[in-house]
Amino acid sequence: MVQNLLCSRKRLEEKAQLYEKMTKGDFPDEETEELYLVDFAQKIIDKQNEIQDFCQKERKKIEEEERTPSLPIPAPQNPGEEWVDYVDSLGRSRRCMKKDLSELLKMDKDLQGKKPIAQDKTLLSEDMRKEMQRQQWEQEEEEALKRPMGPLHYENIRDNEARQLGVGYFSFAQDEQTRQKQMDTLNMLRDQTEDQRVKRERLKAKRKAMLDARLAKLRQKKMKQLKGEGVELETVQDEEEEMIGPEPVVPVENKKVEVVVQERKDTKPGAPHIREWDRGKEFTLGRWSKVCDNLRNERDPEFAPPSFYASDQRMSEKSRNTKWKQGGPNYRSQGATSSGLAHDYRSQGATSSGLAHDYHSRGATSSGL
C-alpha cells in the first residue's frame, strides 16, 4: 500500500513539473503539442495579459497617489527618521529618511558611473562641430589607407548613420579577420539549425514508420483471428476502410471546356418562347390600326381632311402597282437577249476551238517535217 502511494506521488510530481514546463511554453517536441487538449499557448498569452493588467493597475494607483495632495508629515521621534527631499542622478525629485540618504546617493553615483558618457559639449558652434567632424573623417581615411587592399564592405562606408536597419541586420566588424570569424560563427550556427531540422524530419519519419508497422501487425493479428472464426477478408477490409476513412480526392484539372447546349423549352409546341423578363407584359403590336379606325369614326366630319386626299392616295398606289407589272416583260426580253448573247459566245467558243484544232494539226505536220 505504501509503495503504491509513493508511486502515485512520484507520478503526480512528474505531471506537475511537466505542466509547469508546458505553461511556460517549453514543449519537448512540436508533435506532442498537438496531443494535448489544453491550449497552453493561449494560457501563456492570458498570463501575460494578466501581468500587463496588473502593471497598468499599479501604475494608475501610483499616478493617483501622486495626484493626491501630500499629507502633513508627522514629527519624527528620532533625528534619523526625519524626511528629506533630494534630486537623484536622473533629475527626479525624491523623498526619503535622513538615515537612508547616504546609501541612496551612493547608489546614484554608481548608476551614473555605469551610464555612457553623454556629449555635454552643446555650446559648440556649427563651425567647430564641422571641424571636429572633418578631423574624425580624416582620421578614418588615414586608417583606411593603412589597411591592406581588400573587399569593401557596408560597415566601412556607413559613417555613423542614424538609420536603423532592423532585427535581421547583423553589424559585422570592420577588421577583416574579426569579420571572417563572425561569418564562420554564423555559418556554423546555420549548419547546426539545418542539422537539427533534418534530424527532426528523420525522427518524424521514423515514428511514422513505427506507427505503420504497429498498425500492420495489429491488422495481421486481427486477420488471423477472423480467419479462425471464418469471417471473410473483404468484410475486414471494409471495416478498416470505414475506420480509416476515404482517401482525400485529388482535384484533377480539366483543361477541356465543356460546352452546354441549352434547348428552348416552350410551354406548348409551336408557341413562341416567352423570356423571363417579358412575363406579365402587355404588347401593343397590331392595336394601333384598330385605335386609328376608332378615332376616325369618332371624329367630327367637319374636321376631316378633304375626300380627294384619299382618292389621290389610291391612284398613286394603283400607278405603282401597274408600273411594277409593266416592268416584268422588259426583264424577260433582257433575259432573252442575254441568252442570245450567251449563244453567240458559245458559237465564238466553238470557232476558237476549231482554230485550236487547226493549230494542233499544223504542229503535227511540222513535227512530221
- pLDDT at residue 73, as a whole number: 62
C-alpha cell at 26: 517549453
Mean pLDDT of 268-291: 70
Asked if 66 and 76 count as a contact pair (C-beta separation under 8 A), the reply is no
- pLDDT at residue 181, as a whole number: 92
Residue 211: pLDDT band with limits 50, 70, 90:
very high
Contacts of 261-264 with C-beta under 8 Å, sequence gap 24+, read none
Distance CA 88, CA 115 (A): 14
Mean pLDDT of 296-324: 75
What 3-state DSSP class applies to 95?
A: strand
Residue 191, pLDDT above cutoff 90: yes
Backbone phi, psi, residue 328, to 5°: -65, -50
Residue 184: pLDDT band with limits 50, 70, 90:
very high
- pLDDT at residue 322, as a whole number: 62
Residue 33, pLDDT above cutoff 50: yes
Residue 186, pLDDT above cutoff 80: yes
Residue 271: pLDDT band with limits 50, 70, 90:
low
Amino acid 202 reads R
Backbone phi, psi, residue 325, to 5°: -70, -40
Q: Indicate the length of the chain as a whole number.
A: 369
- pLDDT at residue 350, as a whole number: 42
Instruction: Tell me the pLDDT of the chain averaged across its residues.
Output: 73
- pLDDT at residue 298, as a whole number: 87
- pLDDT at residue 48, as a whole number: 84
Lowest mean pLDDT among 243-247, 285-289, 312-316: 243-247
Residue 344, pLDDT above cutoff 60: no
C-alpha cell at 247: 482517401
For the stretch 91-118, pLDDT in tens is 788 888 888 888 988 888 887 765 555 5
Task: For the beta carbon of residue 22, count every other beta carbon within 10 angstroms.
Answer: 19
Residue 219, pLDDT above cutoff 80: yes
Tell me which of 208 and 335 has the higher pLDDT: 208
Helix spans in the chain (H): 2-24, 30-33, 40-67, 101-114, 126-146, 176-229, 233-244, 288-298, 307-368
Helix (H) or strand (E) holding 97: strand 93-97
Residue 138, pLDDT above cutoff 60: yes
Amino acid 24 reads K
Task: For the beta carbon of residue 367, count every other beta carbon within 10 angstroms.
Answer: 7
What 3-state DSSP class applies to 246?
A: coil
Can you say how many angstroms the Cα of residue 224 is from the centroid of all Cα atoms in its chain?
Answer: 52
Mean pLDDT of 216-239: 73
DSSP string, 163-217: ----TT-----SSHHHHHHHHHHHHHHHHHHHHHHHHHHHHHHHHHHHHHHHHHH
For the stretch 42-84, pLDDT in tens is 777 888 888 989 999 998 888 887 776 666 666 777 777 788 8
Residue 7, pLDDT above cutoff 80: yes
- pLDDT at residue 194, as a whole number: 94
Q: How many CA atoms lie within 13 A of 137 on its CB side?
A: 9
DSSP conformation class of 115: S
- pLDDT at residue 46, as a whole number: 83
Residue 130, pLDDT above cutoff 80: yes
C-alpha distance across the termini of the chain, in Å = 143
Residue 206: pLDDT band with limits 50, 70, 90:
very high
